[in-house]
């Protein structure tokens, strides 16, 4: 947004990702200039990332930089994109995500989430960028002794390489705040879903398969509970976090924790189709319950989730129907 007649420039890493693309749109709507960074990796079907990016490229003022956040060339690429201007906030959303995949390929998670975050922090320091927002995850909580999870919960016992890598990224952020004075907000997202979502996550898979008359797989006994959070709610909280100074850790999550069987039934209602269900074994590293205590986000950001699961799943199903001609061919991945 414009501040005192000045157009504010933000950097969004992972700009072709699910939350990243929605965040870019929101920042542009505010009147900000956005430099988006993404390497379009194949962690899941790259056609989904290309679709999101194709919708962003015509927007203005948006500048796309194809670069890996781990690359030594990131600093120079950003210098060229920024020109003689300055950056207000880096929204660091680029990451390897997914619990199950991290058990199979842990090294890639350390590279992207730990070394990539270190590289972004170093670029901020060298370019004089004073503010960063890090997208973290509720997976850092493991199996907490108390629910809902507050930000003070011990995160020293992660259950997956993904969670461990994000805990390390959070620790690096605190170090750079303490040593170099960067203002940093760590946002722990809780199971984000919505239109153009990640095809390796259950919501996308279930919506697609139910509408296509294909079986869905429910792992474990289906009583796992998640604090599902609609993407636009997460984006609003992320934008608000970019205005904070100092160091903060905040949860952004849905107000109620929902059993997976209830999610299946809600998708059935949203699509008007019955689910064909098959069962799979419980997955290693999976957390049985996520539940978000968002009091701190309400106090500091004035934030609370506004989109109900029913409305969010209807919007997700509507997006899929509109994009069925190509989305039906997206590789699901993850399971």
Looking at the domain assignment, is residue 164 inside a domain?
yes
pLDDT at 334: 46
Looking at the domain assignment, is residue 266 inside a domain?
no
Q: State pTM to two decimals.
A: 0.94
Q: Which helix (H) or strand (E) holds 216?
A: strand 215-219
pLDDT at 3: 52
pLDDT at 4: 47
Tokens of 141: 């909580």
Looking at the domain assignment, is residue 328 inside a domain?
no
In which residue ranges of the chain is pLDDT below 50?
2, 4-5, 334-335
Give CA separation, 316 vs 108, 134, 139, 169, 310, in Å.
30, 26, 23, 30, 10
Looking at the domain assignment, is residue 129 inside a domain?
yes
**3-state SS, residue 323:** coil
Cβ(137)–Cβ(161) below 8 Å = no
Question: Known catalytic residues?
Answer: 162
Q: Which helix (H) or strand (E) holds 13?
A: strand 9-13
Range of the domain at 150: 2-191+229-253+289-306
Alpha helices in the chain (DSSP H): 18-29, 46-56, 74-82, 99-104, 106-109, 116-127, 161-180, 202-212, 231-241, 260-271, 295-301, 309-322, 324-327
Looking at the domain assignment, is residue 327 inside a domain?
no
pLDDT at 5: 46
How many Å apart are CA 335 and CA 256, to the nearest integer? 26
pLDDT at 304: 95
The residue assigned the tokens 């929101």 is: 26
Looking at the domain assignment, is residue 264 inside a domain?
no
User: What is the SS3 assignment for 289-319?
Assistant: ECCECCHHHHHHHCCCCCCCHHHHHHHHHHH
The CATH number linked to 88 is 3.40.50.720
Burial of 126: CB neighbours in 10 Å, binned 0-12, 13-18, 19+ = exposed
Q: How many domains does the chain have?
A: 1
Looking at the domain assignment, is residue 274 inside a domain?
no
Looking at the domain assignment, is residue 118 inside a domain?
yes
**3-state SS, residue 327:** helix
């Amino acid at each position: 947004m414009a501040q005192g007649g000045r157009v504010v420039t933000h950097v969004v890493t992972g700009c072709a990702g699910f939350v990243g693309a929605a965040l870019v749109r929101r920042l542009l709507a505010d009147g900000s200039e956005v430099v988006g960074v993404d390497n379009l990796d194949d962690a899941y079907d790259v056609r989904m990332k290309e679709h999101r990016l194709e919708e962003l490229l015509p927007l203005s003022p948006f500048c796309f930089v194809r670069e890996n956040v781990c690359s030594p060339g990131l600093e120079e690429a950003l210098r060229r994109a920024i020109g003689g201007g300055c950056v207000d906030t880096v929204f660091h959303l680029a990451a390897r995500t997914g619990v199950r995949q991290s058990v199979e390929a842990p090294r890639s998670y350390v590279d992207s989430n730990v070394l990539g975050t270190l590289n972004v922090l170093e670029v901020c320091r060298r370019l004089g960028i004073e503010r960063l927002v890090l997208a973290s995850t509720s997976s850092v909580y493991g199996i907490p002794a108390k629910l809902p999870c507050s930000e003070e919960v011990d995160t020293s016992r992660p259950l997956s390489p993904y969670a461990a890598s994000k805990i390390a990224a959070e620790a690096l952020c605190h170090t750079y705040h303490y040593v170099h004075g960067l203002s940093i907000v760590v946002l722990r997202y809780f199971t984000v879903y919505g239109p153009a979502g990640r095809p390796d996550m259950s919501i996308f898979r279930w919506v697609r398969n139910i509408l296509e008359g294909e079986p869905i797989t429910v792992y474990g006994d289906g009583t796992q509970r998640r604090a599902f959070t609609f993407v636009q709610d997460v984006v609003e909280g992320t934008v608000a976090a970019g205005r904070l100074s100092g160091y903060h850790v905040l949860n952004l999550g849905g107000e109620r924790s929902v059993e997976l069987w209830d999610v299946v039934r809600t998708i059935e209602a949203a699509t008007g189709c019955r689910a064909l269900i098959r069962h799979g074994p419980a997955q290693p590293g999976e957390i049985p319950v996520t539940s978000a205590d968002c009091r701190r986000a309400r106090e500091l950001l004035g934030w609370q989730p506004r989109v109900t699961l029913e409305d969010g799943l209807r919007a997700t199903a509507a997006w899929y129907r509109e994009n069925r001609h190509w989305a039906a061919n997206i590789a699901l991945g993850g399971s």
